Amino acid sequence: MSLFTLLVSLCDEIERMMNYVWWGHSGGQSRGINGLSWDKLPMHKNDGGMSFKNLPTFNLAMLGKQGWRLKTNPDSFVTRLYKARYYPM
């Protein structure tokens, strides 16, 4: 997630899978966890949520973190590799 911008549709699909895990499905033994709505899950634990991440926002934050590392560590191997590939002299 930290190298590419994920499509919103892919993030929605991942969130659906998370819903399936947390709340279970209608058939079989799995009942899942009932008691919190999906809107409340991303809230901080102090506010009554479970601190789940908003996936598109989390992906953007991870991309920003990688950009910051490239900017602040000019002598790292990856920074030198990107400079050689994308900014030839």
Residue 1 has pLDDT above 50, yes or no: no
Domain boundaries, the chain: 8-86
- Confidence (pTM): 0.61
Encode pLDDT of 11-70 as tens digits: 889 888 877 777 666 555 656 666 666 666 667 778 877 666 778 888 888 889 988 998
Handedness of CA 27, 32, 33, 37 (dihedral sign): negative
Separation between Cα atoms, residue 4 and residue 32, nearest integer Å: 31
